[in-house]
């Protein structure tokens, strides 16, 4: 008889909740995440429901988690850090580029007024939309499309968050950012930096490098323009 590793029993919702609390305490608070609204929603959001069942035991680990199609859901700290940098009060209209699993989209839905999310991979867009409907996020609209183009008919946006790395700042997205708005995105190829852009009321763009990161590359038109 061939020996096999015993299958790991799935965690209960109580166990997942305990994992979320540990995640927030050890991975976020200890590293300087202090926005109470961000901390609260990450204590509550069921991250495990946004990853494939095979990887659910990794859902609250301090690392990215594969979601298929060569994509990942970002490390919890990076998600929290990017959300904190956006300085969301709850009244903003936000554009998200690279919805992926829908996890960050769900967090945004609890932190702002309206979320428009673009995902270039059709199966991921469908999966994210199903998860968000299940969890009741009525202020989210997802579409499958090229995030490099943004969502011009819904612009301008108070905030833009990008979860895939282009080789340059997409001017389509800059144009769709409202005056006094903020945009955060990873930038670069092999060497990537997280970049925060602030747009003045006069339309001037101020840039600040935040940290070295590693994101999946932005595909679609971004690859041709690079």
Per-residue pLDDT tens digits for 50-108: 999 989 999 999 999 999 999 999 999 999 999 999 999 999 999 999 999 999 999 99
Residue 121 has pLDDT above 60, yes or no: yes
Taking the C-alpha atoms of residue 194 and residue 85, their distance in angstroms, rounded to an integer, is: 11
Residues facing 86 on adjacent strands: none
Q: Which of 38, 154, 147 minimizes the C-alpha distance to 94?
A: 154
Per-residue pLDDT, 224? 85
Taking the C-alpha atoms of residue 60 and residue 39, their distance in angstroms, rounded to an integer, is: 14
Across all residues in the chain, what is the average pLDDT? 94
Per-residue pLDDT, 9? 57
Taking the C-alpha atoms of residue 92 and residue 113, their distance in angstroms, rounded to an integer, is: 5
Per-residue pLDDT, 1? 44
Backbone angles phi, psi at 23, to 5 degrees: -60, -50
Catalytic: 74? yes
Half-sphere exposure of 159 (CA within 13 A, CB side): 25
For a pLDDT cut of 90, what percent of the chain falls above it? Answer: 91
- Among the ranges given (30-39, 51-60, 84-93, 115-124), the one the predictor scored with the smallest mean pLDDT: 51-60
Kindly give the residue spans of alpha helices, DSSP state H, lying in 55-156: 76-86, 103-109, 122-134
Read off the pLDDT band of 128 (50, 70, 90). Answer: very high
| pLDDT tens digits, 157-181 | 999 999 999 999 999 999 999 999 9
Q: Average of pLDDT values for 203-210? A: 96
Residue 5 has pLDDT above 50, yes or no: no
Residue 10 has pLDDT above 80, yes or no: no
Q: Which of 31, 128, 137 minimizes the C-alpha distance to 79?
A: 31
How distant is the alpha carbon of residue 23 from its chain centre? 17
Taking the C-alpha atoms of residue 139 and residue 17, their distance in angstroms, rounded to an integer, is: 24
Residue 4 has pLDDT above 60, yes or no: no
Per-residue pLDDT, 8? 55
- Catalytic residue selected from 74, 89, 101, 200: 74
How distant is the alpha carbon of residue 113 from its chain centre? 16
Q: Average of pLDDT values for 190-206? A: 95
Per-residue pLDDT, 74? 95
Q: Count the helices and strands in the chain (H runs, E runs).
A: 7, 9
Helices 13-22 and 36-44: crossing angle, nearest 10°?
150
Per-residue pLDDT, 225? 80
Backbone angles phi, psi at 25, to 5 degrees: -65, -50
Taking the C-alpha atoms of residue 120 and residue 85, their distance in angstroms, rounded to an integer, is: 25
Q: Which domains does the chain have, with CATH numbers?
A: 13-225 (3.40.50.150)
Per-residue pLDDT, 200? 96
Whether the Cβ atoms of residue 63 and residue 51 lie closer than 8 Å to each other: no
């Amino acid at each position: 008889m061939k020996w096999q590793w015993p299958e790991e029993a799935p965690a209960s919702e109580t166990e997942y909740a305990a994992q979320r609390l540990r995640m927030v305490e050890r991975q976020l608070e200890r590293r300087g995440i202090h926005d109470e609204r961000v901390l609260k929603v990450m204590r509550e959001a069921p991250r495990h429901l946004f990853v494939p069942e095979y990887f659910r035991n990794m859902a609250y680990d301090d690392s990215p988690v594969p979601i298929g199609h060569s994509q990942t859901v970002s490390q919890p700290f990076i998600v929290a850090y990017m959300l904190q940098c956006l300085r969301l009060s709850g009244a903003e209209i936000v554009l998200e580029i690279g919805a992926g699993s829908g996890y960050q989209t769900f967090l945004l839905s609890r932190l702002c007024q309206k979320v428009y999310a673009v995902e270039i991979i059709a199966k991921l867009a469908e999966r994210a939309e199903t998860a968000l409907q299940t969890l009741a996020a009525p202020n989210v609209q997802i579409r499958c499309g090229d995030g490099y183009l943004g969502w011009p008919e819904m612009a301008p946006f108070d905030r833009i968050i990008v979860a895939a790395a282009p080789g340059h700042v997409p001017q389509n997205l800059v144009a769709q950012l409202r005056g006094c708005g903020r945009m955060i995105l990873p930038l670069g190829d092999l060497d990537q930096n997280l970049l925060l852009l602030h747009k003045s009321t006069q339309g001037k763009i101020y840039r600040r490098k935040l940290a070295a990161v590693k994101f999946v590359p932005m595909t679609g038109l971004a690859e041709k323009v690079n």
